Amino acid sequence: MQYEIKGTPFPVVECRLNANEKMITESGSMVWMSPNMNMETTGAGGFGRLFSGENIFQNIYTAKGGPGLIAFGSSFPGKIAVVDVSQGSWIFQKSAFLASEAGVNLSIHFKKKLGAGLFGGEGFIMQKLSGSGLAFVEIDGELIEYKLDRGDQIVVDTGNVAGFSEGVQMDIVPVKGLKNKLLGGEGLFNTVLTGPGTVWLQTMPISSVAGALIPYIPTGGSN
């Protein structure tokens, strides 16, 4: 499989497949393809994905009778990033997965600590990519990468965590100080990521955009 990421701010990844090569994607991600691409819908995502609010169905596209072309498009302004899970598993924000080669396994990753579960927002239920092959993920806004040595930490607003390699530890901690909690405007909790590993941060999480738009959405009623 060869690929090229094109366009901005709504990018697509265009994949060129050899005969019988397969791509796996979430439903609704395909934007164009050659006529010989055969689609099969599968429920291999499992009921854990249903519990998390994700679609349990995925589509498998296969190039039949010769080489094929298929493109997958992002759903939000930002980037499409590629990760080779053959080098190690990654954990991503919910809904980050766009498409992958057939050898990549997609599963639900639950944060085990109670604090993260109750207060972590996007940090509670995440996606784990493992196996072998390339995967494409959506990043909201720009992608910023940090490489953390063992014990290095970075404090992040939860919605800005796009993903991290499996060796990184994630914890949810309360903002210090009652005045900071009530008046600081930064929420009640932050995410602390501890190395070793690679951290991907995103500059424009969709949750922040939605929150900024709420005051401008008409609530109905008569004029």
- pLDDT tens track for 4-56: 999 988 999 999 999 999 999 987 899 999 999 999 998 755 545 554 455 66
The widest CA-to-CA distance across the chain, in whole angstroms, is: 66
Partner residues linked to 161 by β-bridges: 201
The alpha helices in the chain, defined as continuous H runs, are 47-51, 114-119, 178-183, 206-213
Q: What is the pTM of this model?
A: 0.84
Q: Is the pLDDT of residue 116 over 50?
A: no
Q: Name the more confident of 135 and 209.
A: 135
Q: Name the more confident of 96 and 27.
A: 96
169: left (phi over 0), alpha (psi -120 to 50) or beta: beta
Q: Name the more confident of 121 and 76.
A: 76
Mean pLDDT of the chain: 84
Q: What is the pLDDT of residue 94?
A: 84
Determine the Cα–Cα distance for residues 41 and 59; give it in Å rounded to an integer.
Answer: 4
Please report which confidence band the pLDDT of residue 186 belongs to, taking 50, 70 and 90 as the band edges: low
In terms of Cα–Cα distance, which of 78, 174, 89, 175 is closest to 126?
A: 89
Q: What is the pLDDT of residue 166?
A: 92
Domain 2-213, CATH homologous superfamily name and number? Mitochondrial biogenesis AIM24 (3.60.160.10)
Determine the Cα–Cα distance for residues 186 and 194; give it in Å rounded to an integer.
Answer: 21
Determine the Cα–Cα distance for residues 70 and 59; give it in Å rounded to an integer.
Answer: 12
Determine the Cα–Cα distance for residues 138 and 96; give it in Å rounded to an integer.
Answer: 5
What angle (nearest 5°) sits at the alpha carbon of residue 109, between those of residues 125 and 81? 90
Q: What is the pLDDT of residue 136?
A: 97
Stretch 46-73: mean pLDDT: 79
Q: What is the pLDDT of residue 120?
A: 45
At position 122, the amino acid (one-letter code) is E
